[in-house]
């Protein structure tokens, strides 16, 4: 029986010392000029000391004109690399634990992303998508503009930007990248038949809808070369009727194996279907823990690549259940905002767990935002070197988070205006 303590050997890069990954979260902690600063270094130093074999960063934007939130980090051509070198070093400062309980070379991967149409209007960004399909998020739909359909030139530029960001991540000392093709962001939008209504080589059949993701993966692999991991985050399902489903995911995983990917992380949902908050739009009931395990089990048998499963995992027993199902690695996210030492405790055989924040807000989207705000406030405390507990209710945390976002928005718009004038982008 495979245990959480066992190393994982991938096609590229050094072996991961254990089967626990810190999965990506929206940390929203970019320093001025959208760079990683002291807060992110402190935060990742604490996670590195926690024992996980792999740390995957919150998404780093490949284009400063298009960020999902004003607190997002940006890495593109011309971005200074020294702050990223310090960030990568912090993520490897302690190393993941091996079966013997010793530091064994934990890795840090940079998640790289383009939000596509998921850009709030108040950021004034370049909002594009495969087709001019607006976001349908109920009462929050008006926060997002109708996107502009991408031209062939836009698509080529996007492929190049992913490759450049991946190359620069390697130059900065990261051990790998994870291409974000889930949660309704740009690459996921191309995969979705609900959003992608094109009739050219990027639309129609699944292979055409997957073309942008495959081209990005090929370009990234060519640019970073051997000895560097390339992962992909993919929805096991969008949880929308008529959308990207598990059968599609099965076929795309096989395509990714053919173009040089090393690992696929499975998640699910989007801003239109908050599966990770337990509210899928297609009406399916998800487990309170290991949200996507049932779907992952349908993919394990046919997957030519090792799979990583993320979503709602907060207990060692559940993490081991995921590994027992045949999934190669377990991703833990919001639980590590509460207790960054969980991986080490689990690897030592402990049963430490954390409870998720709860809210009585009835609006599903608002409730999900409030719970996310609690995690954001916890991350901010960890990044400041404090205990992660928050004295705030989810509703109060949401109000505070909006105030923080307003400040970060001013900083982002100031930076974006300055770089546009200089022609940096």
Bridge partners of 54, per DSSP, are: 21, 107
Average pLDDT rounded to a whole number, residues 311-322:
93
pLDDT digits (tens, 9 = 90+) for 137-182: 888 889 999 999 999 999 999 999 999 999 999 999 999 999 999 9
Interacting residues of 137 by C-beta distance below 8 A, sequence separation 6+: 143, 144, 271, 272, 365
| pLDDT confidence of residue 288 | 55
pLDDT digits (tens, 9 = 90+) for 263-296: 999 988 777 765 444 444 433 323 457 778 888 8
* 128-129 and 54-56 strand pairing: unpaired
Is 231 in contact with 198 (CB distance < 8 Å)?
no
Q: What percentage of the chain has pLDDT greater than the value 70?
A: 93
| pLDDT confidence of residue 104 | 59
The helix (run of H) or strand (run of E) holding residue 112 is: strand 107-113
| pLDDT confidence of residue 154 | 98
Q: Tell me the fold of 20-358.
A: TIM Barrel (3.20.20)
Average pLDDT rounded to a whole number, residues 247-252:
95
pLDDT digits (tens, 9 = 90+) for 58-107: 999 999 999 999 999 999 999 999 999 999 999 998 766 655 555 557 99
Question: How would you class 124 by CB atoms within 10 Å of its CB: exposed for 0-12, middle for 13-18, buried for 19 or more?
Answer: middle
Assign 195 to helix, strand or coil. Answer: coil
| pLDDT confidence of residue 272 | 72
What are the DSSP E strand ranges found in 205-297?
A: 229-235, 263-267
Q: Is the dihedral of CA 336, 341, 342, 344 positive or negative?
A: positive
3-state secondary structure labels for all residues of 255-280: HHHHCCCCEEEEECCECCEEHHHCEC
| pLDDT confidence of residue 87 | 98
Does the pLDDT of residue 333 top 80, yes or no? yes
pLDDT digits (tens, 9 = 90+) for 373-389: 999 999 999 999 998 87
What b/e sequence results for 308-341 when a residue is b if at least 16 CB atoms lie within 10 Å of its CB, and e otherwise? bbbbbbbbbebbbbbbeeebbbbbbbbbbbbbbe
Q: What percentage of the chain has pLDDT greater than the value 90?
A: 75
Question: How would you class 82 by CB atoms within 10 Å of its CB: exposed for 0-12, middle for 13-18, buried for 19 or more?
Answer: exposed
Q: Which of 20-24, 79-83, 143-147, 391-395 has the lowest mean pLDDT?
A: 391-395
Average model confidence (pLDDT) for the chain? Answer: 91
Domain ranges of the chain: 20-358
């Amino acid at each position: 029986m495979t245990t959480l303590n066992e190393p994982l050997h991938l096609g590229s890069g050094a072996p991961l010392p254990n089967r626990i990954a810190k999965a990506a979260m929206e940390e929203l902690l970019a320093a001025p000029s959208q760079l990683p600063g002291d807060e992110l270094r402190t935060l990742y130093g604490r996670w590195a000391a926690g024992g996980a074999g792999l740390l995957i960063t919150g998404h780093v934007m490949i284009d400063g004109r298009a960020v999902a939130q004003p607190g997002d980090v940006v890495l593109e051509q011309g971005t200074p690399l020294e702050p990223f070198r310090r960030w990568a070093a912090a993520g490897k400062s302690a190393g993941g634990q091996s079966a013997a309980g010793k530091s064994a070379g934990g890795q840090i991967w940079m998640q790289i992303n383009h939000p596509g149409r998921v850009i709030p209007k108040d950021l004034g960004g370049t909002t594009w998508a495969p087709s001019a399909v607006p976001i349908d998020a109920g009462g929050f739909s008006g926060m997002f503009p109708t996107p502009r359909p991408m031209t062939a030139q836009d698509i080529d530029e996007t492929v190049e930007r992913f490759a450049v960001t991946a190359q620069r991540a390697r130059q900065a000392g990261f051990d790998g990248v994870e291409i974000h093709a889930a949660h309704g962001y740009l690459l996921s939008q191309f995969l979705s038949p609900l959003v992608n209504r094109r009739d050219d080589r990027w639309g129609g059949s699944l292979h055409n809808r997957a073309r942008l993701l495959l081209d990005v993966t090929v370009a990234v692999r060519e640019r970073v070369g051997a000895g560097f991991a390339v992962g992909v985050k993919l929805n096991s399902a969008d949880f929308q009727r008529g959308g990207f489903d598990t059968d599609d995911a099965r076929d795309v995983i096989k395509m990714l194996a053919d173009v040089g990917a090393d690992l696929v992380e499975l998640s699910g949902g989007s801003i239109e279907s908050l599966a990770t908050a337990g509210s899928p739009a297609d009406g399916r009931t998800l487990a309170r823990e290991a949200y996507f395990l049932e779907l992952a089990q349908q993919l394990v048998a046919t997957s030519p690549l090792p799979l990583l499963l993320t979503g709602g995992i907060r207990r060692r027993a559940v993490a081991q259940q995921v590994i027992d199902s045949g999934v190669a690695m377990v991703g833990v996210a919001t639980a590590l905002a509460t207790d960054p030492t969980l991986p080490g405790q689990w690897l030592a055989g402990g049963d430490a767990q954390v409870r998720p924040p709860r809210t009585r807000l009835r609006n599903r989207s608002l409730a999900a935002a409030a719970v996310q705000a609690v995690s954001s406030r916890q991350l901010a405390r960890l990044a400041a070197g404090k205990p992660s507990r928050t004295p705030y209710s989810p509703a109060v945390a949401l109000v505070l988070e909006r105030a923080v976002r307003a400040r970060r928005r001013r900083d982002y718009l100031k930076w974006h205006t300055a770089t546009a004038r200089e022609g940096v982008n």
